Structures are given as C-alpha cells and as structure tokens.
C-alpha cells in the first residue's frame, strides 16, 4: 500500500514522544497528518504534544502498548474522535545491554515484552479494525539493523536480547504480510541503524566532556563509539527515510547503507555452509 500524501491522514505513533517516534511525529505533522502519540509517562507525552502542537494536529495519550486492554481503550478513543487509523507506527520499545550467559530470565522477558509483544498486541488490536473499515491502511513496525544481522563492530555492545526481540519482529512482520496479502492493509519493517535519540546524544555529549567516563565505557568501547558516531543519523533523517519507504511501497525499509554489508556477510557465510554441505543448486 503506497501513500502519496499524508495530508489529513490519521496517524498513530506508539512511543511517539521521544526518539524515532518523535521524529516520525514531526515528519507526519509536516505533511498535514493528524497525529496521535503515546507514551507511558503522561508528562513526557504532554511535553511532546505542546512542543509539536505548532506544527499541526497532535494529541498525546498514555498507553502501555504491552497491555491489550490499554491498546483497546486507545484505539476506541481514536476511532471515536479522529476516525479510522490510516497509518500506525508500532514504535514503542526500549534498549538494553545484556550478555547471553549473564542476564536473568526476568531481564530477557521484560525486554521481549516491551519490544516484541507490544508490536503483536498493537497489530492484533489495530489491524482487525483497519480491515473492517475497508480503507487502505498500513502498519509500520520499528525494528532495527539487529533484526537482520549482528552489525559488524557491535559485538562488544551486549545487545543479545535486544537483537532477539527485533529479530522476532522481523519474522512476525513477514508472516503478517503473507496473511494480509489480499486485504486493504499492508505492513512494513523499518530497519534503522544507530540513531541520535535523546539517550544516545546524551551519552555522546558526556563522552565529549569525559572521554573515559567509566559508566559509559562499560558499555561503549572507544572503537564502538567511533563506529556509532560514524554511522548515526538524526531522528529527522530516520523519519524521512521511513516515509520515503512508505511512499515507495517497500516492506523492508533500511535507513543506512552499512546495513547491506551486514546482510551480505550473513548471506555469504550461509551460502558457504550450503556449499560445504554439498547442498548447492
């Protein structure tokens, strides 16, 4: 499903008060959309609403996207006040630094719930309503470059369960695309690399002031820092590329060129394994 223009379109952005979600909100407002953003913290949501309100029609609602009852309340409210949602950005999520053999199951479950289950809950709540409306509609899931490969140079970051949650979103979206192929609803997967969100920008600023900050260095080695600084894009750039992919009717929407190198590296290793096993065509 391609949307040439977002003017007067009803757009939902979960996790839309900060980071990539806030960038998406700004971009959609600039195109004339009517935007609803969600955030767990009502104060953060209201602050984003006040800041972005000068750009167009926006309102904020508190919603825990991992809870089906919260999402139902949110969607019923939007359908009642703005009408059927044209585009939903399933963007709620969080980061995390975990090692595969050191983190607790509770840490893993918490991250999977926030990043993956929230996408499932929103899809199960929103898409049936979109199907009933009969209008062309779209859901874009914010995944990550970690959904398609372990990015070269990121090995020291400890993103094992973050990566697992985003990889789960990849296969969920692929199956969902197949389920919806003959309907009025389409889906896509945003695959951003490093983005200068508030948290990343704050970490870089702190390192500018104290390059050996032990709290940050426990996560970012100097080599990883250089790599992330080199690859990072702004939230506005990420949003522009997301909307460009939407207008192009893409399913996979990458945001930085280095991601293709990581995909090819995985492909080459797997192709070599088939060759060694004598399974090549």
112 and 239 share one domain: yes
Indicate whether 5 belongs to any domain.
no
Instruction: Please tell me the total count of domains within the chain.
Output: 2
**141, 94: one domain:** yes
pLDDT, position 222: 87
Residue that is written with structure tokens 């914010």 in the block: 142
Residue 22 lies in a domain: yes
Q: By residue range, what is the domain housing residue 263?
A: 10-195+233-276
Query: Is 3 contained in some domain?
Result: no
Is there a single domain that holds both residue 191 and residue 252?
A: yes
Q: Is residue 4 part of a domain?
A: no
Give the integer Cα–Cα distance in Å for 253 and 91: 14
Per DSSP, the residues of 34-61 read EEEEEESSHHHHHHHHHHHGGGS-EEEE
Residue 2 within a domain: no
Residues 101 and 200 in one domain: no
Residues 120 and 184 in one domain: yes
C-alpha 10/C-alpha 58 separation (Å) is: 10
Residue 88: inside a domain: yes
What's the pLDDT at 3?
81
- Whether 140 and 88 have beta carbons less than 8 Å apart is answered as yes
- pTM (global) more than 0.85: yes
Are 221 and 138 in the same domain? no
Whether residue 44 lies inside any domain: the answer is: yes
Tell me if residue 162 is catalytic.
yes
Digit-by-digit pLDDT tens for the chain (281 residues) are 668 889 999 999 999 999 999 999 999 999 999 999 999 999 999 999 999 999 999 999 999 999 999 999 999 999 999 999 999 999 999 988 788 888 899 999 999 999 999 999 999 999 999 999 999 999 999 999 999 999 998 888 888 999 999 999 999 999 999 999 999 999 999 999 999 999 899 989 998 999 988 888 877 788 888 999 999 999 999 999 999 999 999 999 999 999 999 999 999 999 999 999 999 87
Question: How many whole angstroms separate alpha carbon 13 and alpha carbon 105?
Answer: 29
Which of the following is catalytic: 116, 162, 252, 281?
162
Domain co-membership, 219 together with 265: no
207 and 105 housed in the same domain: no
H or E element that contains 10: strand 10-13
CATH for 125: 3.40.50.720
Give the per-residue pLDDT at 1.
Answer: 64
Whether 180 and 228 map to the same domain: the answer is: no
Is 228 within a domain?
Answer: yes
Say if residue 216 is in the same domain as residue 254.
no
Could you tell me if 101 and 206 lie in one domain? no
**146 and 16 in one domain?**
yes
DSSP symbols for 229-277 = HHH-B-HHHHHHHHHHHHHTT-SEEE-STHHHHHHHHHHHHHHHHHHHT
Q: Is 115 helix (H, G, I), strand (E, B) or coil?
A: helix
């Amino acid at each position: 499903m391609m949307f040439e223009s977002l003017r007067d379109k009803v757009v939902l952005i979960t996790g839309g008060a900060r980071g990539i979600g806030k960038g998406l909100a700004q971009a959609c407002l600039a195109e004339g959309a009517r935007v609803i953003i969600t955030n767990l913290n009502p104060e953060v949501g209201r602050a984003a609403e006040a800041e972005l309100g000068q750009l167009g029609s926006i309102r904020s609602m508190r919603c825990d996207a991992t809870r089906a009852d919260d999402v139902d309340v949110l969607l019923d409210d939007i359908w009642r006040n703005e009408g059927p949602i044209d585009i939903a950005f399933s963007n709620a999520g969080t980061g995390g630094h975990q090692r595969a053999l050191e983190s607790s199951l509770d840490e893993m479950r918490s991250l999977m719930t926030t990043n993956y289950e929230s996408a499932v809950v929103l899809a199960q709540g929103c898409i049936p309503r979109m199907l009933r409306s009969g209008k062309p509609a779209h859901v874009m899931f914010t995944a990550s470059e970690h959904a398609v490969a372990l990015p070269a140079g990121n090995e020291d970051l400890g993103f094992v369960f973050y990566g697992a949650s985003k990889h789960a979103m990849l296969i969920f979206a692929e199956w969902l695309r197949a389920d919806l192929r003959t309907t009025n609803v389409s889906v896509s997967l945003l695959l951003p690399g490093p983005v200068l969100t508030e948290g990343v920008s704050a970490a870089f600023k702190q390192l500018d002031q104290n390059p050996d900050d032990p709290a940050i260095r426990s996560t970012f080695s100097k080599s990883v820092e250089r790599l992330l600084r080199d690859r990072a894009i702004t939230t506005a750039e990420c949003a522009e590329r997301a909307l460009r992919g939407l207008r192009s009717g893409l399913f996979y929407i990458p945001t930085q060129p280095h991601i293709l190198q990581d995909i090819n590296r995985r492909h080459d290793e797997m192709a070599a394994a088939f060759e060694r096993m004598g399974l090549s065509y």
